[in-house]
Structure formats: C-alpha cells, structure tokens
Structure 1
Amino acid sequence: MTKGHWIGLMAGASAIAPVSGASAATAERSVFGEMPDGELVEAVTLAGENGVSVKVITLGATIQSFNVPDRDGEVADITIGYDTVEDYLERPNYWGQTIGRYANRFAQGRFSLDGKTYQVSQNDGENTLHGGADGFDKRNWTLESIEDGERATAVLTLRSADGDQGYPGNLDVRVVYSLDEHGALTIDFSATTDAPTIVNLTNHALFNLGGNGWPYGTYDQRLTIPASRFTPVDGGLIPTGELRSVEGTVLDFRSGRMLSDGIRHGQDEQIALGRGWDHNWVLDKGRTTQPELAARVEHDLSGRVLEVLTTEPGVQFYSGNFLDGTLAGKGGVLYRMGDGIALEPQMFPDTPNKPEFGSARLDPGETYRHTMIYRVSIKNN
C-alpha cells in the first residue's frame, strides 16, 4: 500500500472496520426498472459487514446510492440521485454516472487527430460537455459479472460504435466497481479502440456527507485538495491554457477550507464565471501509476470522511452550482445549490485542443486505464 493510499488515515480518520471477524463482502443482483423498449435496468448492491453499501445500476453505470454509517452507527446515503429509471431518463443529470467518451468540456466540440478534424455533438452552448448529448451516462450498460469475496465486485461493459457522437473508432469500455471491508470503493476504467480516438473517463457522483437531504447542504463540510495550481476558465468554462497559482485565492484548498467560505465570493472573477467552484485543479502529484490523494471531505458533525484517490493528474471540483430546487430526487428531496458536490478525477478539460496539457489520445493496440477510489472513514475527534 502506497503512502498516498493511507494519507487520510494518518490525518485522524479511521477506516470503517467490519463489525465481525468476517472479511467477506457481498454482491447482490436485482432489477431496478425497465427502459422504454422493455430492456431491463439491473442493479448490483455491493455490501460489507461494516455498514457500507453501494448500489450501482446499469443505466449510465451509475452509483445510485452510497450508504455510510456515522460515528454513532447511523447509516445515511451520501449521494444525490433518483429513485426510478423514469426519473433518470426524463430528468437527466450527472448524478453518479460514468462519464465518457470525454469527461468535462472541450471547446466547440472539435478536436483533431492526424490532421483530420472531428465534430462532436455540442450540448453545452457551442461546447461539448461529458461526451456529448448522448454520452455514456445515458446508455444501459451490460452487467457482465458480479462476485463476492474480500472485495465485492461488479463488472460493466459498453461498446461505443465508430462515429458515436462524432468520435472516431469502435471503443470497448469496461468499468469494474469493487467494495472492500474498509469502506473503499475502487473504480477501474479501461478502454480499447480500433482507430485513433480520445478518451477521458470518470465518475460524476455528487456527495453530501450529511446524507441525502441534509438541511445544511454541504456548507458545513471541509474540503482539502492537494493542488498548488488550477486551470482558470473563460465565460464558457473552457480553460484558457494558463496554470494559475491558487495562492491568495478562494481556490486554495491545500490546508482545507469550509465549503461556506468562498462560494459567494463574487469579487473573484473565476467564482463569478463558475457561479461558484467549477474548476479543474492541477494535482501536485501529477499522473501516477497507483491512486494517490486528490481530495478529502470532512464532516465534523457526523464524523464521516470521504477521500478521493486517482491515477489522473487533475480533479474537477463542482460545488453543485446549477442545482436550483426544481428537481426532486431520492425521497422527494428538492436539491438546491450546494446540496451535493462532485470531485471528478480526470485529464484536464480541453486537453484535445491544448497539447500543453498532455494527450487524451488512444491508439489501436493500447489500453486506456484510470483507477480512482472513493474511500470513506470515520473521524474520531
């Protein structure tokens, strides 16, 4: 286990241990609902004896719930979302889904490979967001297998055909969710192609450590991001290309910041443009072979702690700015601004058009890989 894997435990949190001597976690398959054509939407509940359980549905390869005990053993669902297939289809949002082919935004929905320009569906003004109008979040994935054991595991797959949303190449995608007995949900993404293309996969869960419907939203929670720089954006939330220091700004989360501290700071142009935080942080660790810390959220009242680890070089922090109280989610809760936050490990937005950010290219014979972890624990003080 790397230093990055355990950095959170060294900071005063403890893993949520099994309540018995057993080390088995379980995976249970069920039916969540049906698509309009009658195709089943399946669910898998991954559960450990420590009270942590995660439900994943095949529609969008989505984390539909993430149940975690507090320091008193009271269990709450720490993600926002919907209760039915119909809600996910009729009122789509990025609430726990697998995002692809390209997570986040790129400018004008265009990119070039080997001298050829490709036009992808534009679903965010003139730009492309989270793969396009019919991204991976809206597909009913295939549940290939489930497994009990030291880790409870579910394997989901999807084929994205050549030309899908304008992207080149047939892309075969595999997502493996695995939950261990210590409160860590690992998500392993992989993909292969038969023609040069671009790939950037992540999960878009929105978390609230107080639980779904917590009346204070996330503003009583503290966020830490180990990043000295971020990528400032223009009016379309496309990075300008600059890697700017967070020093002296409300985008500095290196020492931890309450989410109530800075969200209304309209004097900062970047906060005004994003209606809050909706930016990519340049992680000090860079790209790594093993997942290392990208973000840590702490909720003193419940004691819950969430750590996000990744092999990728960036993390998008979105503070739920566009939740406006018009959508009723799980349990009929009306979600308002700040009722959930997303921490999306990723390559940087607009990387296909900014070679200085690196490369999102995938060629035949190569395998795209990204491993991320959502790890929950209990703060003892």
Structure 2
Amino acid sequence: MSAAGTLDTRRWGVAPGGQEVCLYTLRLPGGAQVTLTNFGATLVGVQVPDREGVLGDVVLGHDRPEGYFSHDTSPYLGATVGRYANRIAGGRFVLDGRVVELPLNDGPHTLHGGPHGFDLRLWQARPVLTPEGPQVTFSRLSPHGEEGFPGTLRVWVTYSLTADPHPTLSLTYRAETDAATVVNLTNHTYWNLSAAPQSLVLDHDLTLHADHYTPALAGGIPTGEVRAVGDTPLDFRAGQRLGEAMARHAAELPGGYDHNVVVRGPAGTLRPAAVLRHPASGRELTVATTAPGLQVYTGNFLDGAVTGKGGQVHARHGAVCLETQHFPNSPNQPHFPSTRLAPGEVYESQTTFTFRTR
C-alpha cells in the first residue's frame, strides 16, 4: 500500500439494462476503507475504527448490487440523489414563466428527483489514485425532460478519501446545463456509528451548527418560514441524545426527525454542519458543507421490509441521514436560496465527512 492508500476496481454484477456494475474500494494506510458503486454513484460501505482500533462498517447498504435496483429494497441507501433532492410540492414549479410538471412519487409531491432519479441510474466512473489519496469521479448526462426536468444536465460527483489529519471522505458535486433548470444534489447515506446494524441510533449524540430551521407542513413541505430553533425540537446546538430528544418531543415528532435546518454561516463556504457521536464505540463523525441546509432524517420509514448486509433487517430508527442540501421546495419559495441553474453557470457543492474516535 502506498502512502496515499490504494484503489481497487472489480466487476460486481449487471444492471437491469445489461450494463456492468462495478465496485470501487478506496483504502487508507491507517485502515479506513470506503466502497462505492457506479450504480446510483452510491456509497456502499465505510469502514472506520472504534476507540480500540477495531474496524466496523458504519453505513447501511447491500452485499449485492441487486439490492440497489429498486426503491423497495433500497430507500436511497447511500445514493447520490437528484436532479432535485428532497421534495417539490405538487410536483410542479414555475421557471422563467413556464410551468414545469414532474411525476409524483411521494403522495401529491415529487421526492428526490422522481420515481427514476439519479439513484437508479448507471454512472460513468473514473477511479484515480492521487498523491492525497484515492478518489472516484462519477458522471452522467441527464437528458432534457428526464423525470420532467428541463435542460440537458451534465453532472459529476467526486468521492475522495484522505487521511490528513483524520480519515475524511469528501464529496464534490458539479453540474452544467444547456437550458435553465433547477438542481439540488445530495448523498443519502444512512449512518449508524455503532457498526452494529441491529442497534438503533437512539443512543447517538447529535450536535447541529444551526440556529434556524424551515418548519414544514404534513408531507414535509416547508411553510416558507425560517424560524429560530430555540425552544423547539430542532435545538441541537448544545448536543442532544437522539432517543431522549425524540421521547421528549414525541407529540411534535410523529415517527421521528425528518427536518431541514439552516446551516450556520454563509452558504458557499465549507463550514461545520453537524457532529454525530456514538459514546459506546467512541466513533465520531463531523459533517461540513458548502450547502445552505441539512436534512436530519432518523430512518422513520424503515419498517423491517428491507434486508441489508449480512441479512440484517433494517428497523425504524436503525440509522440517521445527514443530507446536505438546498431547502426543500425551493423552486416554489422565491426567498429561499435559489436552485436555478442557467447555461454558462456551474453548480458546485462540497460536503466532507471526517471520522475521529474519542
């Protein structure tokens, strides 16, 4: 293994369209390891040590590629989500005076780019071992009209694994279009730092660098208000145990958390967004992002119907997602940060996941 680590590629299976699905393994000299696949530009596994140095996989996923081919078996597990992450109310918005209609896949709304979004597409992959560490860039061309979105969109997602000074997984998103459109990309990894997927994340501590959030109606559609988190279930500024917070606010949180918070500091700059800790193992995950928002989702719709790695059944609250993003339904809320992308402009966003032990 070189000082920068290693990068291995192997055939993993065949996609529904007959194309080859590959698995990419990024390793650092200290033992941290990330596995990716070109189906959905998906994060399949993350192996990091606990305080005793024992490696464990801290994300939900599948042992075989077939598990990722349907939302019935993969509710966006580790996937790159687009063209528009989160929800668009009524599956419609007005762009430059023209009404855009999208297919509905979340009751009366469009969720995560529609029923056949980026997570169910095969991407091109370019693996490279750089002096800083291994990385893979996934790319695809989303044609005009795909899932109803206007404009032909070229999109790239680069996963980079580095070790200075702690193992850090960086995700860099980039997109260009030939006609005005909307773009909001994220990663939908389900984290469980215990590395024991049969355990729930109720024993995890969460800190959010967020002073405000966007209240939502039933169905997860923001009201348009930006409200201070003080005296609300979203006040994680000093850190809270997830299970205790959910129990304390059970009446206000039917099912758990599925909320967007406003990351403190200017969007477009890389700044802290969240810290997730598992006291029993000592693992700690720090999330930083250039995006304006972060969706906290406690796996409320995991109901035991999905079986993951090693035959493990994924139960409700078996993981937590920390999705860096633009605010939900931004195309219909003009005062939210804009998600409009025009020809000649470049959509860029970065998120980092840094692993430590305490």
For this structure pair, what is the TM-score category when the shorter chain's length is used for normalisation? Answer: over 0.9
CA distance in 2, matches of 1:161, 1:264: 45
What is the CA distance between 1:136 and its match in structure 2? Answer: 0.1
Q: Match for 1:204: what amino acid? A: H
Q: Match for 1:227: what amino acid? A: A
- The aligned counterpart of 2:222 is 239
**Residues 283 and 356, structure 2, Cα contact 8 Å, conserved in 1:** yes
**Residues 211 and 263, structure 2, Cα contact 8 Å, conserved in 1:** yes
- The aligned counterpart of 2:88 is 106
Bigger drift between 80-89 and 142-151 goes to 142-151
**Residues 286 and 314, structure 1, Cα contact 8 Å, conserved in 2:** no
> 1:166 aligned to 2:145?
no
Residue from 180, 186, 197 that aligns with 2:162: 180
What is the TM-score with the length of structure 2 in the denominator?
0.96
CA distance in 2, matches of 1:119, 1:24: 47
> 1:138 aligned to 2:117?
no
| Secondary structure, counterpart of 1:336 in structure 2 | coil
Please give the per-residue CA displacement for 1:44-96, whole angstroms capped at 9, x wherever unaligned.
11110111110010010000000011111111100001111212114231110
Runs (4 or more) in structure 1 with deviation over 3 Å come to 264-269
| Secondary structure, counterpart of 2:236 in structure 1 | coil
Q: Match for 1:158: what amino acid? A: R
Residue from 304, 308, 317 that aligns with 1:329: 308
What RMSD, in angstroms, separates the aligned Cα atoms of the two structures? 1.4
What is the CA distance between 1:37 and its match in structure 2? Answer: 3.3
- The aligned counterpart of 1:288 is 268
Please give the per-residue CA displacement for 1:252-305, whole angstroms capped at 9, x wherever unaligned.
100000011122445543x13xx211000011213033x211110011111110
Please give the per-residue CA displacement for 1:119-148, whole angstroms capped at 9, x wherever unaligned.
111100010100111000000111133224
Residue from 354, 360, 364 that aligns with 2:333: 354
Q: Match for 2:304: what amino acid? A: G
What is the CA distance between 1:363 and its match in structure 2? Answer: 0.3
- The aligned counterpart of 1:13 is none
Q: Match for 1:338: what amino acid? A: H
> 1:23 aligned to 2:3?
yes
| Secondary structure, counterpart of 1:262 in structure 2 | helix
Change (3 A) 1:100 1:212: farther
Q: Match for 1:347: what amino acid? A: H
**Correspondence 1:272-287 to 2 at 5 A:** 272=254, 275-287=255-267
- The aligned counterpart of 2:243 is 260
Please give the per-residue CA displacement for 1:172-212, whole angstroms capped at 9, x wherever unaligned.
00111100023100000000000000001010000000014
CA distance in 1, matches of 2:8, 2:127: 11
The runs of 5 or more residues in structure 2 that have no matched partner are none
Q: Match for 1:263: what amino acid? A: M
CA distance in 2, matches of 1:307, 1:351: 26
**Residues 179 and 186, structure 1, Cα contact 8 Å, conserved in 2:** yes
Change (3 A) 1:297 1:196: same
- The aligned counterpart of 1:205 is 189
- The aligned counterpart of 2:56 is 76
- The aligned counterpart of 1:219 is 202
What is the CA distance between 1:214 and its match in structure 2? Answer: 4.3
CA distance in 2, matches of 1:332, 1:317: 26
CA distance in 2, matches of 1:152, 1:218: 30
Bigger drift between 113-122 and 86-95 goes to 86-95
CA distance in 2, matches of 1:294, 1:266: 22
Q: Match for 1:116: what amino acid? A: R
Change (3 A) 1:114 1:231: same
CA distance in 2, matches of 1:297, 1:28: 29
**Residues 264 and 276, structure 1, Cα contact 8 Å, conserved in 2:** no
- The aligned counterpart of 1:303 is 282
- The aligned counterpart of 1:9 is none
Bigger drift between 291-300 and 143-152 goes to 143-152
The runs of 5 or more residues in structure 1 that have no matched partner are 1-19
> 1:229 aligned to 2:212?
yes
What is the TM-score with the length of structure 1 in the denominator?
0.90
| Secondary structure, counterpart of 2:34 in structure 1 | strand
- The aligned counterpart of 1:7 is none
CA distance in 1, matches of 2:247, 2:89: 27
Q: Match for 1:240: what amino acid? A: T
**Residues 100 and 199, structure 1, Cα contact 8 Å, conserved in 2:** yes
CA distance in 1, matches of 2:96, 2:158: 32
